[in-house]
């Protein structure tokens, strides 16, 4: 489990204000009500990926979802032969619909598509809190 540093910019400041408060936000289109996770491209200006319009606002989500797919990333072994950490990255489908490219932590030995997961926030000393997901089968959504 390791996450990297991210510095906020104008477009992401509200999102990272929320992650600092343990809340996950998604973008909501004011025009067609489409929900989406922000597109991770530098060139993206934040338009609705359903209707193309730029009128997006932020909306909190429950943080619950299901596992769509995952991969355990293995680093090149060290020359000394000591074990290297394995990072598990995944696509999670939020109960509200959007997919999130994320990292998993505190996961069981075996994973299956459809496993319930819940958001958590991984903090680094110098960077923003980053949404990750962990086993959510034991936790009920709050209403």
Partner 1 sequence: MSGSTSDAAIAGLGITEMGKVYGRSTTDFGADAIIRACTDAGLDLHDLDGLLTNSGLTGGVGLWLQRELGLRDMRLLSEIQGFGSSAGAMVAMAAMAVASGTATTVACVFADAPLTADRGAGAAYAASRPPLPTGFAGLPDAVGLSGANPYYALAARRHMERYGTTSEQFGHIAVAARQWATMNPRAQMREPMTLADHQASRMIADPLHLLDCCLVSNGAIAVIVTSAARAANLAQPAVHVLGWAQAHPGYSMQKGSDFGLISGAAQSGPAALKMAGVTVDDVDIREIYDCYTYTTLISLEDYGFCEKGEGGALAASGALAPGGSLPTNTGGGELSGYYMWGMTPLSEAVIQARGQGGQRQVPHHDVVLVSGNGGVLDYHATLVLSPHARS
Is 90 a residue that touches partner 1 (CB under 8 A)? yes
Nearest distance from C-beta of residue 115 to partner 1, angstroms:
10
Q: d(Cα 75, Cα 82) in Å, to the nearest integer? A: 11
Is 36 a residue that touches partner 1 (CB under 8 A)? yes
Is 60 a residue that touches partner 1 (CB under 8 A)? no
Is 40 a residue that touches partner 1 (CB under 8 A)? yes
Taking CB under 8 A as the criterion, the residue among 31, 62, 68, 134 binding partner 1 is 68
| C-alpha dist (Å) from residue 142 to 55, 64, 121 | 29, 10, 17
Residue closer to partner 1 by CB (options 132, 135) is 132
What 3-state class would DSSP assign to 19? Answer: helix
Nearest distance from C-beta of residue 66 to partner 1, angstroms:
10
Q: d(Cα 58, Cα 81) in Å, to the nearest integer? A: 47
Tokens 């072994």 label which residue? 77
């Amino acid at each position: 489990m390791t996450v990297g540093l991210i510095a906020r910019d104008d477009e992401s400041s509200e999102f990272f204000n929320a992650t600092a408060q343990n809340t996950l936000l998604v973008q909501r289109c004011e025009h067609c009500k489409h929900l989406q996770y922000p597109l991770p491209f530098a060139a993206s200006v934040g338009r609705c990926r359903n209707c193309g319009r730029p009128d997006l606002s932020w909306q909190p989500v429950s943080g619950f979802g299901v596992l769509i797919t995952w991969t355990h990333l293995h680093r090149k072994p060290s020359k000394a032969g000591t074990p290297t950490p394995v990072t598990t990255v995944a696509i999670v489908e939020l109960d509200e619909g959007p997919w999130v490219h994320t990292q998993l932590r505190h996961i069981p030995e075996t994973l299956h598509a459809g496993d319930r997961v819940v958001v958590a926030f991984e903090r680094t000393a110098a960077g923003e809190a980053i949404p990750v997901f962990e086993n959510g089968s034991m936790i009920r959504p709050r209403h």
